[in-house]
Amino acid sequence: MPDLLDAVDALTLVEHEHIAQKSDDGRWLKAHTVTHPSLLQRMADAVTPSTGRDNASKSSAATRSPVDADALFEYAKMSAAIKSWCLMVKVAPDRDPAVGLRKWYVARLAQPGEDDAWYTRQLTSWANIIRNHLNPPQSFTIKAPCPICRTEGYGNAIDGGDTWPIEVRYRMQDERVTDEIARCRVCGGTWHGHDAIEELADELSQISGKIEAAPNPVVEHQEGPNPPDRLNRLEGCDAV
């Protein structure tokens, strides 16, 4: 669990991203560093594209998510909450929520409360909401029963669902897969991270060894591009 300052920093400090490049023949070239505006600033840019205070702090149109009502609403809630927190510690709110949040934190240091954990959870969830808006997760459904609860279907044709129970979500970052998580929507069984997903793929291919090979494609893509190589083993799983 991050502490309160970590959670404040995650939202308000610029982020440095190290990008290593490979040449065409596979050699690593020198890494370079890209600086991104803070998460709160990027959310502000995403919902109000003209708010960048100068060219350097604006994200380019290509990297900016399209304005959407959800993001706008979430950002408005964050800004409003920060303003009211500032008033509670008798600090004048700032037009810029990132500045306001840091002023609030400094004032709060002088009068620590017992509910730092609550604020930390709140701020951490905001960071997750913003990351999800800036780089939405990709997902697909594994066409195989859950190895824990053995459920084969989820939902029904009338109420929706009518699909296999395990959903895999992941995020692409510089052509790398990150944040992989597989979750059974029936029993809640969760496989978190690369190693756990590999184990799941192993388990499913063992099950499939006992069953006649299936003619159908196994993975149903719900959105986004094809999952990259690391997830292809699940695509090859033919436990159906």
Q: Which parts of 207-236 interact with Zn ion (CB under 5 A)?
A: none
Q: Does 168 interact with Zn ion (rule: CB under 5 A)?
A: no
Segment holding 230, helix H or strand E: helix 229-235
Backbone phi, psi, residue 123, to 5°: -65, -35
The DSSP annotation for 93-131 comes to --SSHHHHHHHHHHHHHTS--TTHHHHHHHHHHHHHHHH
| Member of 86, 186, 197, 231 binding Zn ion (CB under 5 A) | 186
* Nearest to Zn ion of 72, 148 (CB atom): 148
The CA distance from 211 to 188, in Å, is: 25
- Look up residue 51 and give its DSSP letter: -
Q: Reduce the DSSP state of residue 73 to 3 states and report it.
A: helix
For Zn ion, the closer CB: 21 or 206: 206
99 touching Zn ion, by CB under 5 A: no
User: Which of residues 10 and 142 has its CB atom nearest to Zn ion in the complex?
Assistant: 142
Residue (64 or 169) nearer to Zn ion, CB = 169
Q: How near is the Cβ of 183 to Zn ion at its closest, in Å?
A: 9
Q: Are 236 and 205 in contact (CB under 8 A)?
A: yes
Q: How far is the CB of 198 from Zn ion (least distance, A)?
A: 18
Q: Please enumerate in sequence order all residues whose Cβ is within 8 A of that of 53, keeping only pairs 6 or more positions apart, or say none.
A: none
Residue 189 contacts Zn ion per CB under 5 A: yes
* 200 touches Zn ion by CB under 5 A: no
- The mark string for 112-151 relative to Zn ion (x by CB under 5 A, - otherwise) is ----------------------------------x-xx--
* Residue 187 binds Zn ion, judged by CB under 5 A: yes
- Which span (61-69, 113-121, 176-184, 225-233) binds Zn ion, by CB under 5 A? 176-184
Least Å distance, CB 167 to Zn ion, is 11
> Which region, judged by CB under 5 A, interacts with Zn ion, from 46-54, 57-65, 98-106, 187-195?
187-195
| Structural contact between residues 120 and 7, judged by C-beta atoms closer than 8 angstroms | yes
In terms of Cα–Cα distance, which of 110, 107, 83 is closest to 97? 83
At 115, list the tokens: 């509910």
Q: Which two tokens stand for residue 10?
A: 């995650």
- Interaction of residue 204 with Zn ion, rule CB under 5 A: no
- Judged by beta carbon, residue 130 or residue 142, the one nearer Zn ion is 142
Taking alpha carbons only, the member of 62, 57, 54, 65 closest to residue 36 is 57
Q: How many residues belong to the site for Zn ion (CB under 5 A)?
A: 7
Please report where in the chains the tokens 């509670």 appear, as a residue. 88
- Which residue's CB is nearer to Zn ion, number 122 or number 163? 163
User: Which chain residues interact with Zn ion by CB under 5 A?
Assistant: 146, 148-149, 184, 186-187, 189
